Amino acid sequence: MVTRRTLGVLVALAIGAAAFGSTGQALAQDKPTVALIPGLTTDAFYITMHKGAQAAADELGAELIFQGGPEFNPTVQVPVLQAVIARQPDVILIAPTDKQQLIAPLRQAVDAGVKVITVDTFIDDGMYQDGAGEGDFPLSYIASDNVLGGRMAGEALGKAIGGTGKVYVSNVKPGISTTDQREEGFKAAMADFPDVEVLETQFNDNDANKAAAQVQAVFARNPDLAGVFGANLFSAIGAADGVKALGKTGEIRVVAFDTPARIVDDLKSGLIDIAIAQHPYDIGYEGVKAAVAVINGETVETSIGTGFTVMDAGNIDDPDVQARIYSE
């Protein structure tokens, strides 16, 4: 006799048989699976991106894996990528931590049948699917326009210092698409300020403490230092901390890229003049949307741009502006 209990067991066995092949190996899940590999996990920018990605995954019925390393560094990111490839998601969304060093490891993903889309940063020249270059195989690039963002920062800093004086870029390290492009845009904007001298870029390895110490060292050599552009979250926090430690708030002007929560106080106190918020939530959301489209056999744009919100002391209390402060 088939009792209620044995029926339950039979149903459970049937579900088990559907989920596992005769070898006991897991079969592909019904749900599309998307993996998001950030530049590093403990950065408010990527934490916010994760939220947007999760929102899209929930809406579209996709499974989202979020796996990353503790540092923005290809040596740390490549093993994470290899572990994710072994999990065989349908699509990998990744913020590659170096333009060149991630090309070959990402090629391995494609060879393993996993589709690749890059978010925030790109590999190679960032022009995908054009048949040119070793790294044209990702299907799409979803990000801010970083040259434009750097240009906006340059214009803001040039104006803040009255079009004259010495400035420098506090940057992470060469070879990262986003921060390289921000510096490029910043320097292009400075061409409109002939009386501004752009000093040598200081590279801080994504370490805010190092960036702060560099402000003090540059100031020691250039007591007439007028401004610093912090080209990402850690560079900007370090630049602000360095200026504060010198007691030069409002005298050495700071323009920040990225907007973690503490930016609010720094804008209000005049430590930072302007902060350029990216829209990482949208990058994550659009990333998963594009991934699911690809899984459904649709073609996606090879380049999808997201916007900016420029924050200053005058608008920082607006709810629309507050909404663009990154999550922690």
Please report, as ranges, the residues that interact with ligand T6T according to CB under 6 A. 39, 43, 45, 120-121, 178, 232-234, 257-258, 278
Q: Least Å distance between CB 172 and ligand T6T?
A: 7
CB of 103 to ligand T6T, least distance (A): 17
Between 32 and 260, CB nearer to ligand T6T: 260
For residue 52, the minimal CB distance to ligand T6T (Å) is 14
**In angstroms, what is the minimal distance from the CB of 214 to ligand T6T?**
16
Using the minimum distance from each CB to ligand T6T, give the nearer residue, 147 or 293. 147
Nearer to ligand T6T, 263 or 295 (CB): 263
104 backbone dihedrals φ, ψ, rounded to 5°: -65, -45
Q: How far is the CB of 96 from ligand T6T (least distance, A)?
A: 9
Are the CB atoms for 316 and 53 separated by under 8 Å?
Answer: no
Q: Which amino acid is present at 18?
A: A
Whose CB is nearest to ligand T6T? Answer: 233
Q: How far is the CB of 119 from ligand T6T (least distance, A)?
A: 9
Minimum CB separation from ligand T6T for residue 105, in Å? 18
Q: For the CB of residue 38, give the shortest distance to ligand T6T in the complex, in Å.
A: 8
Cα–Cα distances in Å, from 146 out to 111, 139, 201, 275? 30, 20, 17, 14
On the 0-12 / 13-18 / 19+ scale of CB atoms within 10 A, 298 is exposed
Nearest residue (CB) to ligand T6T, 205 versus 317: 205
Q: Which two tokens stand for residue 176?
A: 């990262």
CA distance 243 to 1: 81
State both tokens at 307: 């916007």
- Structure token pair of residue 263: 């930016």
Helix (H) or strand (E) holding 253: strand 253-257
- Minimum CB distance to ligand T6T smaller for 33 or for 206: 206
Structure tokens at 125: 């020249």
79/272 Cα distance (integer angstroms):
37
Place of tokens 């740390």: 76
Q: Which sign, positive or negative, has the C-alpha torsion 125, 129, 130, 133?
A: positive
CB of 108 to ligand T6T, least distance (A): 22
Residue 39 or residue 165: which is nearer to ligand T6T going by CB?
Answer: 39
Q: How far apart are CA 84 and CA 227, in angstroms?
A: 42
Q: Assess contact for 239 and 212: CB atoms under 8 A.
A: yes
Rg (CA), the chain: 23
C-beta of 124 vs 258, nearer to ligand T6T: 258
Residue 207's beta-bridge partner residues?
A: none
**Residue number, 90 or 258, with CB nearest to ligand T6T:** 258
- Please tell me the distance from the alpha carbon of residue 197 to that of residue 277, in angstroms, as a whole number: 26
Comparison of 166 and 279: residue with beta carbon closer to ligand T6T: 279
- Contact between residue 203 and residue 173 where contact means Cβ atoms under 8 Å apart: yes
